[in-house]
Amino acid sequence: VILAASVPPSLVIRNGTVITMDRKRRIVRGDIHVTDGQIRAVVAGTRKADGSARGATVLDATDCLVIPGLVQTHVHLCQTLFRGRADDLPLLKWLRTRIWPFEAALDEASLRTSAQLGLLELLLGGTTTILDMGTVHHQDIVFEAMEQAGVRGFSGKSMMDVGQGLPKPMREGTRASLDETDRLAAAWHGAAHGRLGYAVAPRFILSCSRELLEGARDLALRHRAPIHTHAAEHPDEVAAVRRTTGKTSVRALHDLGLTGTRSIFAHCVHLTPADRKLLAETKTAVAHCPSANLKLGSGIADIVALRRAEVTVGIGADGAACNNLLCAWTEMRLAGLLASVRHGPGVLTAADLLAIGTIDGAKALGLERVIGSLEPGKRADLVVIAPDHTVEPAEDPYARLIWSGRACDVRDVVIDGRIVVRNRECLTLDADSIRAHAKQHARRIASHV
């Protein structure tokens, strides 16, 4: 139905119910043809599951839903090993007594394992694109793990040069932080044939000097890279920002030139109407992390108000140390439940919520022409959802996905035309070895604190 291709496909996803998430929200029962990592056609009609595909690899999706790969606009791969070791604390105490000391204890081997373990969970759960915030040191390792896993996305070293409660190894010189960011951006922005990108990542206002924030802005401009930071997450942080700057986080970041079409602010729980207006006017995107916000007692971000102001909103699990899952399904569902409590059921429909987890997330990252929907011309990032008879009947596919969807429904995952998960097994990462290493490293890191 949507365009026919003359080039023979190298991969065919056959006989699925394709939730395209295109502008018209079309649902097509049929095949997706992929060549050279690109979707060439979405073809309606039923074919024999084992019918000829002219030499192409075939993923049979009979009785399955096929959706665009899920996009998480805020995660911390470096924190996966801290899962279950930093619970029941509010934000600033959580950072100062656990997360920063843990991050300070990461060496290259444990950081690699942490990133791999996180990527394994993300891929198996259908997340194909991430915006990751790294730690202060060894950032190349995170990119190497992302390259190996086959995920799409951005990462960037966390930048910190001031702040209360920062362990010594985590406090950088301002110049050193900027130079390292510059080097990493030159090395990784656009790497892996454009699948990876660099995101300049000043951690949050309280851990960054004015010079560092201005330098980060200049580097992002020079490398044409996104800016990724935390803003307005917790009332204590909001109060501390006001004490040091006399402003709200969003206003302070804006006044230093850090808002804009390539900026993504995580959380934005505590905003004034003026903050929302600023985000909208500057086209700054927001990463909504409902599980982390609830667990750290931070509050509930009003994403309905943000969307009404035409701010682009994506979702993110944040880190395993504050969630403790890295599950896009949980975040989409929770985003819907919280919106329902605040504004009434149906204010965000299941289709809206799937959009937040796919095409809107892509837009937040400036990738809406590349991914986020299943249409000819886009890169082939997609997820095959296995039928689940425990949640039938499920007439409306959007409701099936959002209100009864779980990470364990994900059967196959394709990124850039490459199958990275098949029959619930990750083909790019060695799950057994990663899990064994993770246990050892996690124990050693915990003993440091």
- The residues of the shown chain that bind Zn ion, judged by CB under 5 A, are 318
Q: How far is the CB of 233 from Zn ion (least distance, A)?
A: 8
Residues 6+ apart with CB under 8 A from 390: none
Nearer to Zn ion, 265 or 398 (CB): 265
Measured at the CA of 399, the angle between CA 394 and CA 402, to 5 degrees, comes to 125
Q: What is the largest CA-CA distance in the chain?
A: 68
Rank residues 203 and 411 by Cβ distance to Zn ion and give the closer one.
Answer: 203
Kindly tell me which of 21 and 365 has the beta carbon lying closer to Zn ion.
Answer: 365
Complex with Zn ion: residue 237 or 318, whichever CB lies closer: 318
The smaller minimum CB distance to Zn ion, of residues 121 and 318, is found at 318
At closest approach, how far in Å is the CB of 293 from Zn ion?
10
Complex with Zn ion: residue 77 or 434, whichever CB lies closer: 77
In the complex, least distance from residue 104 CB atom to Zn ion, rounded to whole angstroms: 17
Q: Contact 145/115 with Cβ under 8 angstroms?
A: yes
Tokens 């890279």 belong to 225
CB of 318 to Zn ion, least distance (A): 5
Min. distance of Cβ 319 from Zn ion in angstroms? Answer: 6
Q: How far is the CB of 74 from Zn ion (least distance, A)?
A: 6
Minimum distance, C-beta of residue 289 to Zn ion, in the bound complex (Å): 7
Q: Between 229 and 373, name the residue whose CB sits nearer to Zn ion.
A: 229
**CA atoms within 13 Å, Cβ hemisphere of 122:** 37
Nearer to Zn ion, 123 or 296 (CB): 296
CB of 76 to Zn ion, least distance (A): 6
**Integer angstrom CA distances of residue 23 from 161, 186, 306, 353, 438:** 44, 35, 20, 15, 42
CB nearer to Zn ion: pick between 120 and 317:
317
Asked if omega into 169 is within 30° of 0 (cis), the reply is no
Query: Closest distance between Zn ion and the C-beta of residue 79, in Å?
Result: 8
Complex with Zn ion: residue 204 or 398, whichever CB lies closer: 204
Q: Least distance (Å) from Zn ion to the CB of residue 156?
A: 12
Residue nearest to Zn ion (CB): 318
Residue closer to Zn ion by CB (options 172, 318) is 318
Three state DSSP letters for the chain:
CECCCCCCCCEEEEEEEEECCCCCCCEEEEEEEEECCEEEEEEECCCCCCCCCCCCEEEECCCCEEEECEEEEEECHHHHHHCCCCCCCCHHHHHHHHHHHHHHCCCHHHHHHHHHHHHHHHHHCCEEEEEECCCCCCHHHHHHHHHHHCCEEEECCEECCCCCCCCHHHCCCHHHHHHHHHHHHHHHCCCCCCCEEECEEECCHHHCCHHHHHHHHHHHHHHCCCEEEEECCCHHHHHHHHHHHCCCHHHHHHHCCCCCCCEEEEECCCCCHHHHHHHHHHCCEEEECHHHHHHCCCCCCCHHHHHHCCCCEEECCECCCCCCCCCHHHHHHHHHHHHHHHHCCCCCCHHHHHHHCCHHHHHHCCCCCCCCCCCCCCECCEEEECCCHHHCCCCCHHHHHHHCCCHHHEEEEEECCEEEEECCEECCCCHHHHHHHHHHHHHHHHCCC
Q: Which is nearer to Zn ion, 31 or 318 (CB)?
A: 318
CB of 316 vs Zn ion, minimal distance in Å: 8
Q: Minimal distance in Å, beta carbon 88 to Zn ion?
A: 18
Q: Which of 212, 298, 314, 305 shows the shortest CA–CA distance to 253?
A: 212
